[in-house]
Amino acid sequence: MQFNNKQPIYMQIIEYIIIDIINGKYIDNNKLPSVREIALALQVNPNTIQKAYTELESLDIIYTKRNSGSFVKDDNNLINKLKKELLDNKTKEYLDYMEKLGINKEEIINYIKEM
Amino acid sequence: MQFNNKQPIYMQIIEYIIIDIINGKYIDNNKLPSVREIALALQVNPNTIQKAYTELESLDIIYTKRNSGSFVKDDNNLINKLKKELLDNKTKEYLDYMEKLGINKEEIINYIKEM
Amino acid sequence: MQFNNKQPIYMQIIEYIIIDIINGKYIDNNKLPSVREIALALQVNPNTIQKAYTELESLDIIYTKRNSGSFVKDDNNLINKLKKELLDNKTKEYLDYMEKLGINKEEIINYIKEM
Amino acid sequence: MQFNNKQPIYMQIIEYIIIDIINGKYIDNNKLPSVREIALALQVNPNTIQKAYTELESLDIIYTKRNSGSFVKDDNNLINKLKKELLDNKTKEYLDYMEKLGINKEEIINYIKEM
DNA sequence: GTGGTCTAGACCACC
DNA sequence: GTGGTCTAGACCACG
């Protein structure tokens, strides 16, 4: 995985994990890789992963069972909720920006179609 | 103006000025406010504004005349160029993200239409 | 039973058992459930229950007869002692905290009455 | 300041700061000591303070101005809100525990009066 | 082996 | 000088 410098690594990892969750990567038993495992895989310090996990826990997306690992919340709608939330936020953000540029919805749609 | 903590203030100011340029705010004589003026208005350290101006200069968007202030470049296509560039970048970024979420172009367009 | 993450599970189990003792749950023949039994009931690793029992033993609250199980100590005053101890500790802790908040005894009493 | 081993240091620092806020210690300009300053004063690693500050920020009690320090939220009722919240929580927790011990409100009030 | 905490020390952008 | 991030490495309780 490549990290950019514009965002802290732990933030990029958070996004990365959320997208994995949405794409059903941990759907088996909901278990996420251990802190150390993922740290090794991504070649970052375990503390950085820890921070990402802690953040994901406070976002109510995963939970941690003491000494047995971290798990995706067992909420059937979680994936849909996350997806909807991201879709909403990112689209809103995008449209707001376009509005500031004085570009209206029709123009945007045409532009997207052409891409 | 509200600044968020996730991006350096000077970057946020650059965006803010570019948008003002696109929206024709400085179209009269192309003159931008002085560093002090804008620093006072935005309640920001003058150094921060200075940095934004310097950056804008190196982006070839404004230029500075000694003892008389800073001006938007007198380039007829500048506004269009800037607009196109932002439109391109933001749209690409947005579509890339949607793709990662597994949302295709059709769905996006429908979603935008409905908003 | 729900466990929180802020305290070791075995500590939570100790409290849980002590409260059961105080409430006379094991008053018949003083016999506690077997380690396996309780482990199954609480969905916890037997080692964890074992640790709780060991701790309770060293607190002189229960004792273990080889090959026949664990029993609450046959001390008439035990329940009262335990109750008194918990009452004292918890109350002291509570009042100390309130003092730090600048809330005096009168205010506390009024507040409790109103609840 | 003395730390106990039953709770992480950063948690104890959080409590400590909240109590200081309630007691009006930072009432002048709302400014908290810098991370390094407090780390030196309490003889702990700056990262530990950082963690406490980050947590307090996500609890919406303080906010951070980039490169100029951390401040108590400028909310007139904050102190009262915090005080009320702690009073409520701690009292509820205390009474719940007493109930589990089979001690009723009257008994508690008498006990508190006598202390 | 697991997560949680802490230290020490470093570097950075920012103001 | 400020907060923010990251690394490296360590120790711990827990299960």
Q: Does B76 touch chain A (CB under 8 A)?
A: no
| Amino acid C5: pLDDT | 80
Q: Work out the widest C-alpha separation in chain B, in whole angstroms.
A: 55
Instruction: Label the pairing between strands B62-65 and B69-72.
Output: antiparallel
| pLDDT band at D103; cut points 50, 70, 90 | very high
| pLDDT band at C77; cut points 50, 70, 90 | confident
Q: Is C52 left (phi over 0), alpha (psi -120 to 50) or beta?
A: alpha
| Residues packed against strand E, CB within 7 Å | A 32, 34-37, 46-47, 50, 53-54, 64, 66-70; B 8-11, 45, 47-48, 51; C 5; D 8-11, 44-48, 51, 66-68
Nucleotide nearest to D7 (CA to C1'): E5
Helices (H) and strands (E) in chain C, counts: 5, 2
| Secondary structure (H, E, C), chain D | CCCCCCCCHHHHHHHHHHHHHHCCCCCCCCECCCHHHHHHHHCCCHHHHHHHHHHHHHCCCEEEECCCEEEECCCCCHHHHHHHHHHHHHHHHHHHHHHHCCCCHHHHHHHHHHC
Q: Please tell me the pTM assigned to this model.
A: 0.86
Domain limits, chain B: 9-72, 78-114
Helix (H) or strand (E) holding A20: helix A9-22
Mean pLDDT of A58-78: 88
The per-residue pLDDT for range D18-66, each reduced to its tens digit, is 999 999 888 878 899 999 999 999 999 999 999 999 999 999 999 998 7
d(CA A97, CA B90): 8
Q: Is the pLDDT of residue C1 over 80?
A: no
Mean pLDDT of C41-62: 92
Do D105 and C112 lie within an 8 Å CB cutoff? yes
Helix (H) or strand (E) holding B93: helix B78-100
CB-contacted nucleotides of strand E (7 Å): 1-10, 13-15
| Amino acid C25: pLDDT | 87
Pick among 1.10.10.10, 1.20.140.160, 1.10.490.10, 3.90.700.10: CATH of D9-72: 1.10.10.10
**What count of Cα atoms within 13 Å lies in the side-chain half-sphere of residue C27?**
10
| Amino acid A75: pLDDT | 82
Q: Please give chain B's pLDDT, 115 residues, in tens.
A: 778 888 889 999 999 999 999 988 888 788 999 999 999 989 899 999 999 999 999 999 999 988 888 999 877 788 888 899 999 999 999 999 999 999 999 999 999 998 8
